[in-house]
Amino acid sequence: MSRRDFDPATVTPDGRPPAKAKLFDGSVPGPYRGSVNGEVLGTGITVLTYGNDEPGIGPVLHVHPYDEVFVIQQGRARFFVGDEVIDAEAGETVLGPAGVPHRFVNLGPGRLQTVDIHLSPRWIQTNLE
């Protein structure tokens, strides 16, 4: 599929160099294996990785002052976003809008693995449980 969504001649590079940061160490146990603040990469997004092997387990109810996008890489999850309940599986994405409390749990069977994209240069969170 060929795409041409914009004219490259209309974009001027802002002078930032390419950047690299380690997101996680696969040998580290626990559900939160790592994060990269956008500040490290010189961008406005922060990336986290989350995973667990136990159905019914997930992060506590929390809220952010910015949007969060969840990318389900493996398994199935049930998201509680405000008053909505959303079931999602590998290959799907879920939006947690700014200011809306949310949490999710592994639906099983097997591992749930997500990449969580915070639309902020820093991870900012208030736990509500």
Structural domains of the chain ordered from first start = 45-124 (2.60.120.10)
Instruction: Give the pLDDT of residue 75.
Output: 97
Residue in this structure with the two tokens 């997500």, named with its chain if needed: 114
The pLDDT score that the predictor gives to residue 57 is 96
Instruction: Select from 47, 100, 49, 103 the least CA-distant residue to 77.
Output: 103
Task: Please report which confidence band the pLDDT of residue 126 belongs to, taking 50, 70 and 90 as the band edges.
Answer: very high
Give the neighbor-by-neighbor strand order of the sheet with 62-63: 84-89, 76-81, 102-106, 62-63, 126-127
Q: What's the mean pLDDT when you consider all of the chain?
A: 93
pLDDT 10s digits, 36-81? 999 999 999 999 999 999 999 999 999 999 999 999 999 999 999 9
Taking residues 103-123, report their average pLDDT. 97
| E strand residue ranges, the chain | 32-36, 46-52, 62-63, 68-74, 76-81, 84-89, 93-96, 102-106, 112-118, 126-127
Q: How confident is the model at residue 24 (pLDDT cuts 50, 70, 90)?
A: confident
Which residues make Cβ contacts (< 8 Å) with residue 8, sequence separation at least 6?
A: none
Residue 6's pLDDT band (boundaries 50, 70, 90)? confident
Model's pTM, two decimal places? 0.87
